Structure 1
Amino acid sequence: MARVICIGLGPGDPDLMSVRAHRLLAGARIVAYFRKAGRPGQARRMVEGLIPEDAEEWPMEYPVTTEIPLGDPAYNAALAPFYADWAARLAAAPHDVIVLCEGDPFFYGSFMHLHSRLPRDQVEVVPGIPGMAGCWTATGQPITWGDDVLTVLPATLPQAELARRIRDTDALVAMKIGRNLPRLRAALAEAGRLQDAWLVEHGTMPAERVRPLAGVEGPVPYFSIVLVHGRGRRP
């Protein structure tokens, strides 16, 4: 029985991929990856030049991305059959399938929706460095000290909920920024932490950019993370 092996690619720089992930990719006969229709896909870009020339590529194109709000029932109605169909296709593959995933597959990764639909004895997951680790390293500052509590939250939450959680934590990682940036900025300001926040775009990638969030105007790339560093106990 062929296996479905999802490899975490790490935060973006191919050099930060694990040795195991690289070894599996180098020997792949089928490589699958998510992408938006008409786009190459970020995971595929990260491994450019690393996929064997004779390997088959199976792009899994989302039927919808940001065109429908997450809370709209039509969003799940479109994605549920998409994941079910691809889980069945991967499970029936003639050879092992290597599925690419940015960061770590079990940390906000799309692969988890396939994993929940695949037979457990047929699937394997290779962890990767989460994108947030590459981003806080890019700032040149530790994200936590001593007894700091770190909160990771999606910027898709309502503003009041964002502000509450920001107030209640020492250090912060905010993901899924995109069009949610104005709401996140307002929540940070409400919690009195806007001046402490950093925006990291394309962490560890060639287009990496690090700057204080307070001075950022306009849209930001999808691969952006907002950080607030802890200030905890130190010797």
Structure 2
Amino acid sequence: MSLSDQQTQGRLIGVGVGPGDPELLTLKALRQIQRAPVISYLANAEGRSQAKEIAREAFVGLPPDHPLREIPIVMPMSTDRRLANQAYDHAATQIAKALTQGLDVVFLCEGDPLFFGSFAYLLERLQGQFTTQVVPGISSVHAAAAQLQQALTLQQESFAVVSGRHTDQQIRQTLQNHDSVVIMKAGLARPRILALLAETQRSADARYLEYIGRDNQRIEPDVTQLVAESGPYFSLFVVTRQAARL
């Protein structure tokens, strides 16, 4: 891409809006959203977007004639990755048209855009063709630690982050080999995770959180009280060696 092309095209800007509390939106994120002629975000079949809802304060007070366009990315309910890729492909085409017209496109991403963030899928499709920028956001990992008022790591402790989508063996080894562990995307995997915590004798070290920073936030300090059934997508376990710190 030539310099003149870059100067006439818009920028693709991934903006982290944080885990759920609208007040955790950074000033830089707020300003980028309020200046954006085009915003994009993940949405369900009814058009509802968690990221847009979190960023709602950014839209308060915009002038009525603010020329805001929206490109929702409707994600399929199916876990079939091919369908999700098709949704991102379609969105990337729409976003590329706006960028070619010289319009900046701000993609709203829950948490941080590049930490288990959906923005990464657009970035890999459009980076190199257009100027890109990332505004980091507060991740659910750090928001969870703040809610628990509990250090994630201290001194020489090791720290690892895994997903509930990892295999039992991967999660087991992580729990056995690291002092502090955060298990993201725990929803469907919650029964497996509870069993693995018990097997590795880490249940007493674990805390469970869901919908961090939202009105329906839940914190369970005793994971043995959790029912061994699937939970919400926006949930995680924080596992730290509390006894060793005392």
Q: Establish whether TM, by shorter chain, passes 0.5.
A: yes
Asked whether 1:151 is paired with 2:160, we answer yes
Q: Which residue of 2 aligns with 1:71?
A: none
- Amino acid corresponding to residue 130 of structure 1 in structure 2: S
**2:36 is paired with a residue of what secondary structure?**
coil
Whole-angstrom distance in 2 between the partners of 1:18 and 1:171: 27
Whole-angstrom distance in 2 between the partners of 1:181 and 1:44: 27
- Pair 1:80–1:24, CA change in 2 (3 A): same
| 1:100 pairs with one of 108, 120, 139 | 108
Which has more radius of gyration? 2
Contact kept in structure 2, 1:185 and 1:194, CA below 8 Å: yes
Q: Which residue of 2 aligns with 1:229?
A: 240
| 2:72 pairs with one of 59, 83, 86 | 59
- Amino acid corresponding to residue 223 of structure 1 in structure 2: F
Whole-angstrom distance in 1 between the partners of 2:147 and 2:41: 26
Whole-angstrom distance in 1 between the partners of 2:18 and 2:114: 12
Asked whether 1:84 is paired with 2:89, we answer yes
Give the structure-2-normalised TM-score: 0.85
RMSD, matched Cα: 2.0
- Amino acid corresponding to residue 79 of structure 1 in structure 2: A
Contact kept in structure 2, 1:145 and 1:232, CA below 8 Å: no
**1:156 is paired with a residue of what secondary structure?**
coil
Offset of residue 57 of structure 1: 2.1
Whole-angstrom distance in 1 between the partners of 2:223 and 2:35: 42
- Paired-residue identity, %: 30
**1:38 is paired with a residue of what secondary structure?**
coil
Whole-angstrom distance in 1 between the partners of 2:122 and 2:215: 30
Number of matched pairs: 227
Asked whether 1:116 is paired with 2:124, we answer yes
- Pair 1:79–1:138, CA change in 2 (3 A): same
Unaligned residue ranges in structure 1 (runs of 5+): 69-74
| 1:138 pairs with one of 143, 147, 151 | 147
Contact kept in structure 2, 1:91 and 1:122, CA below 8 Å: no
Unaligned residue ranges in structure 2 (runs of 5+): 1-8
Whole-angstrom distance in 1 between the partners of 2:34 and 2:27: 10
Give the structure-1-normalised TM-score: 0.89
Contact kept in structure 1, 2:22 and 2:56, CA below 8 Å: no
